[in-house]
Amino acid sequence: MTHPGELLKKNSLYAGKELGQNFLSNPATAQMIVDRTGVDKEMIVLEIGPGLGAITLPLARACKQVVAVEKDRRIIPLLEEELANEGIRNVTIINQDILKTDIRELAGTKKLVVIGNLPYNISSQILFQLITIRQVVTRAFLMFQKELAERLLSPAGNRNYSRLAAVVQYASKIERVADIRPNNFFPRPDVNSTVLRFDFFETKGMGKEDEILLFSVIKAAFSKRRKTLHNAMADGELGLTKEIVGIALENAGIDPSRRAETLNVQEFIDLSKAVGKVSTNES
């Protein structure tokens, strides 16, 4: 691969800070990431933000097909040239914002593996998007700012446990794949990065509407994380009175004086089901 700094300079381009562009510049690191994904010649992979092809090149050699979604139209000709120079023909590039892309339509009747060096400014949004369409995604290997990765891995009761961690842990098994230092990127970021693996699964007894309510309950619980669950969830966007919240907490067997960061995934599921039943009885 050609160093991204050299490619950009040659074409009078620059890394877009507004797009969160930090291009992976170490081919050995890119190969290591692809090797650890375990993709094979039977797999179709969706790559989010291929950039200048650091991961795309070894990925295309390892799998059946790569569908690469790239928002920045300026760099697509450079990526196409890199692929052509390497004789790679199994990559389809789509110039689109991944948050506006219908991933279900891309998958068709197949299931995808997703890989991405994500723009840090929208990484949480992309993860939420994948959770909602996980029926067509078997697993994902995503690079985050290390601080966010640590929060995603944090268990209930840890001070880093968050709304996003609860939602992600509800929908997937998470593992650390690799920590990546700033000197592996161009331009060099100010933070370390971490690649995480997500193995998505369905939760028995939870339909689409159940999940929508669960995610709303988690959001409400964390909206005022310094407050108790009873106070945080009352009179908020869920439209619940303190009385209804109290009944739901009691029915779920949860102490109302607890705070959101102390609840594990199963407790959030129990609470959302209790909220659903109480709300139905009240209406």
Residue stretches of the annotated binding site for S-adenosyl-L-methionine: 22, 24, 49, 70, 97, 117
Alpha carbon separation from 135 to 16, 38, 63, 85 (Å, rounded): 33, 20, 21, 36
Q: Which residues are annotated as a binding site?
A: 22, 24, 49, 70, 97, 117
CA 188 and chain centroid, separation:
22
**Strand partners for 137:** 112
Cβ proximity of 206 and 214 under 8 Å = yes
Strands 112-117 and 137-145: parallel
Q: Please give the Cα distance from 99 to 214 (Å, whole number).
A: 22
The amino acid that residue 175 corresponds to is E
Torsion of CA 216, 219, 221, 227, to 10 degrees: -150
Cβ proximity of 121 and 149 under 8 Å = no
